[in-house]
Amino acid sequence: MFSKWAKRIVAAAFVLAIGWWVFSGEDEERLFASALTEADYLQPTPLIVNPRGRDTVSLNGPWNIIIDPQDRGLPTRALGLTLPGFFENLQDTGPMELVEYRFDESEKLQVPGDWNTQREDLFWYKERVWYQRYFDVARQDTQSYHLYFGAAHYEAHIAVNGVYAGTHKGGFTPFNLDVTDLLVDGQNSVVVSVSSKLSHGTVPTANTDWFNYGGLTRDVMLVSTPSIFIQDYEVTLLDEVTKDIRVAIDLNQPMRDVPVRVKIAELNADISMTTDRDGHAEARLTAPNAMLWSPETPHLYDVTLETGGAEIQDRIGLRTIRVEGDRILLNGQTVFLRGMSAHEETTTRYGRNATPDDGKAVLSLIKELGGNYVRLAHYPHNAHTVKLADEMGLMVWSEIPVYWDVDWHDTGSLADARNQLEEMITRDRNRASVITWSIGNETPNSDARLSFMENLADHARAVDSTRPVSAALVGDEVGQQLGQAIAVRALTSDDTPEATKQAIREFLGPLNSWLLDQALAWEIIDPQAPIIIELEDPLGDSVDIVGINEYIGWYYAAFLSPVFDIPEAELREQMFELMPNITLRNAYGKPLVISETGAGAVAGRRDPDMSIWSEDYQAKVYERQIEMLQNSDQLAGLSPWIIKDFRSAMRPLNGVQDFWNRKGLVSETGERKAAFHVLKAYYQGLAASEAAQSEPPQNANDELE
Ligand code: GCB
């Protein structure tokens, strides 16, 4: 019927059509490239404050998982089609259906919990894991439903009943998604894909001296609210003398004339207010008998907030915190921070803290030391821990993971850091224990970094104007000036071998060497004079509390030894000798907090010869530090590094570290090292003398005696 040529033409057209269908739209794309690009990401809905004080159902427990190191479960584009990937939680319904994954009957992981310590083969795993579980909902039309994640490290994509619902970046802050329209009455399925991979563009980057455990590391819950509800609220003591309190709420929508009631029963406060057109309401009250929160009296008030028949319960402490000159004032009184730094790891489990008890074990160690303060490094810790700090009476430094070198030029990194900062503050602004928001740790000085960090400082103040902003500075000046002091001493000592003097002169270069000689000849430099180390990092000018990380007694010697050609042992000895003569200060007249100092020690290793890694050496560093810090008038507190040995991929030294950073005062299993007792004696002594000073005399005669 058709000619041979006609058949050929039809066949060719058919092949071309198929080819067009297969490759259309894919000129620029890789086969099986993810169809979920950053441009398509749906952002979480604004953060709901205090979900645990509302109507919630826990989604903790075992979740089904699929390990996906090649991201194959993400929606992909192939053959001109967009394939939904594992979000769909597809079930094969017959023997002829090809579905190459299955959540049902898969392996399980506990949520909350990191994957690294739940399965040996996932210990070093950083790529993608898919989580899935079912949950029942008795859906009510009047209610809104929100999936709340305490944290997912680092990036999470979420789908409900097969529909992609949102993405969150940042491994230590909470987020929630409004899933009202996606839920059905009865059984629902949620799928979460979590990737723990960090890169140059993430905050933090992959370069961290701590272990970034992956997965759904904190509580997951379904929060149910009316359609109009209180999204956020603040109860703040404005003045410690008048005891004026500000109560403010924000609805989830800009809606006027919505009645809201706030009760603080113990203060006989029962406030009724109505929202303005922005959905905001606020009121002031004066409570002359209010008891102020402090580490000694960590009193919390039961607060109930109510609108539309839905109640929120919270327990809130009342206190003021501010900086005046180089002092930190809690409730108008100078307070000295007797603290410790802590990572979010405990002695009672390997891995990331997941439960309130985990956090409690860490905070209890700091209480045992006689501490009143904890630096929660280097990222926001679990909400449970901060609540416990409220209850146990520990002041908190809360930090975002802007650590070492993030990409200062990348607007994406800045947006990410700002978002983590805002989520941290929003979550915890009602926690009396939190006295400062830290915008980062050891960020090296440059113009780009300064404008990045100033942006964060401004943002912190815009979100919360009631707390000082801080940062832990790397303190380049410490190493430099210590090196200088050691060089001057060596050059002026008759005991220094000529070869060493030569090495130091070579390091200084001919000009500096000549200048130094002149300065010594004119007695402008006195080799025996006290050493004043002043921090001039310009970031110090932008924050309210200047944190400095200094490791005098531990680092520096190893760096200086090859440069000066002086044996490390000798340099360590010199550091110890110099320490009582060193004064640390900042150029800005602000409160100075030693945000880190310390030394490594293997628990149980004792050595009267003071070799490094012994408990004895670590204890000596603590003793000298305590002595040295008495010289600093600006000193407002300290949080040595660190309460407990913690996991770090950066610490491989076998037989000593074995991937643990050993600067803990206790080992990973809780053995107290000698330095623990040194610091305990110091802190308990300080606490006792503070208590004695603040105690009113029994009667007038007592005072005279
Ligand atoms: C630091 C860092 C901290 C490290 C610590 C150390 O300065 O801020 O993250 O773990 O030193 O052990 O060297």
Which residue has a Cα nearest atom 4 of ligand 1?
Answer: 209
Atom number of ligand 1 nearest to Cα 648: 10
Question: Is the predicted pLDDT of residue 700 greater than 80, yes or no?
Answer: no
pLDDT at 80: 75
**pLDDT digits over 100-141, tens only?**
999 999 999 999 999 999 999 999 999 999 999 999 999 999
Residue 663 Cβ < 6 Å to ligand 1: yes
Residue 442 Cβ < 6 Å to ligand 1: yes
Distance from C-alpha of 108 to C-alpha of 86, rounded to nearest angstrom: 16
Residue 661 Cβ < 6 Å to ligand 1: yes
Q: Which of 19-28, 69-78, 319-328, 442-451 has the lowest mean pLDDT?
A: 19-28
Kindly give the distance from the C-alpha atom of residue 195 to the centroid of ligand 1, in angstroms, as a whole number. Answer: 25
Distance from C-alpha of 705 to C-alpha of 698, rounded to nearest angstrom: 11
Kindly give the distance from the C-alpha atom of residue 596 to the centroid of ligand 1, in angstroms, as a whole number. Answer: 8
Identify which of 205, 207, 208, 209 to mutate to test ligand 1's pocket (most ligand atoms within 8 A of the CB).
209
**pLDDT digits over 302-323, tens only?**
999 999 999 999 999 999 999 9
Residue 596 Cβ < 6 Å to ligand 1: yes
**pLDDT digits over 652-661, tens only?**
999 999 999 9
pLDDT at 508: 87
Question: Is the predicted pLDDT of residue 384 greater than 60, yes or no?
Answer: yes
Atom number of ligand 1 nearest to Cα 646: 10
Mean pLDDT across the chain, nearest whole number?
93
pLDDT at 314: 98
How confident is the model over 76-80, as a mean pLDDT? Answer: 77
Listed in sequence order, the residues at least 6 apart from 559 whose beta carbon sits closer than 8 Å to its beta carbon are 479
pLDDT band, residue 507 (cuts 50/70/90)? confident
Q: To the nearest whole percent, how much of the chain has pLDDT over 70?
A: 94
Of 110, 112, 42, nearest to 383 by C-alpha is 112
pLDDT at 698: 59
Q: Which of 11-20, 74-83, 269-278, 489-498 has the highest mean pLDDT?
A: 269-278
Listed in sequence order, the residues at least 6 apart from 26 whose beta carbon sits closer than 8 Å to its beta carbon are 77, 80
Question: Is the predicted pLDDT of residue 18 greater than 70, yes or no?
Answer: no
Kindly give the distance from the C-alpha atom of residue 443 to the centroid of ligand 1, in angstroms, as a whole number. Answer: 12
Question: Is the predicted pLDDT of residue 36 greater than 90, yes or no?
Answer: no
3-state secondary structure at position 347: coil
pLDDT band, residue 77 (cuts 50/70/90)? confident
Question: Is the predicted pLDDT of residue 558 greater than 90, yes or no?
Answer: yes
Residue 660 Cβ < 6 Å to ligand 1: no
Listed in sequence order, the residues at least 6 apart from 612 whose beta carbon sits closer than 8 Å to its beta carbon are 572, 599, 600
Which residue has a Cα nearest atom 13 of ligand 1?
Answer: 209
Kindly give the distance from the C-alpha atom of residue 441 to the centroid of ligand 1, in angstroms, as a whole number. Answer: 9
Residue 423 Cβ < 6 Å to ligand 1: no
Of 390, 168, 427, nearest to 301 by C-alpha is 390
pLDDT band, residue 705 (cuts 50/70/90)? very low
Better-predicted residue by pLDDT, 23 or 484: 484
Of 436, 397, 429, 390, nearest to 297 by C-alpha is 390
**pLDDT digits over 419-429, tens only?**
999 999 999 99
CA 120 from centre of chain:
26
Question: Is the predicted pLDDT of residue 703 greater than 50, yes or no?
Answer: no
Kindly give the distance from the C-alpha atom of residue 8 to the centroid of ligand 1, in angstroms, as a whole number. Answer: 73
Residue 595 Cβ < 6 Å to ligand 1: no
Kindly give the distance from the C-alpha atom of residue 675 to the centroid of ligand 1, in angstroms, as a whole number. Answer: 18
pLDDT at 9: 58
pLDDT band, residue 475 (cuts 50/70/90)? confident
The identity of residue 459, as a single letter, is H
Residue 452 Cβ < 6 Å to ligand 1: no
Question: Is the predicted pLDDT of residue 13 greater than 50, yes or no?
Answer: yes
Kindly give the distance from the C-alpha atom of residue 209 to the centroid of ligand 1, in angstroms, as a whole number. Answer: 6
pLDDT band, residue 618 (cuts 50/70/90)? very high
**pLDDT digits over 572-599, tens only?**
999 999 999 999 999 999 999 999 999 9
pLDDT at 467: 98
pLDDT at 351: 96
Question: Is the predicted pLDDT of residue 396 greater than 50, yes or no?
Answer: yes
Residue 187, judged by CB atoms within 10 A of its CB (0-12, 13-18, 19+), counts as exposed
Question: Is the predicted pLDDT of residue 22 greater than 50, yes or no?
Answer: no
Kindly give the distance from the C-alpha atom of residue 130 to the centroid of ligand 1, in angstroms, as a whole number. Answer: 32
Residue 639 Cβ < 6 Å to ligand 1: no
pLDDT at 7: 59
pLDDT at 12: 55
Kindly give the distance from the C-alpha atom of residue 474 to the centroid of ligand 1, in angstroms, as a whole number. Answer: 10
Kindly give the distance from the C-alpha atom of residue 545 to the centroid of ligand 1, in angstroms, as a whole number. Answer: 19
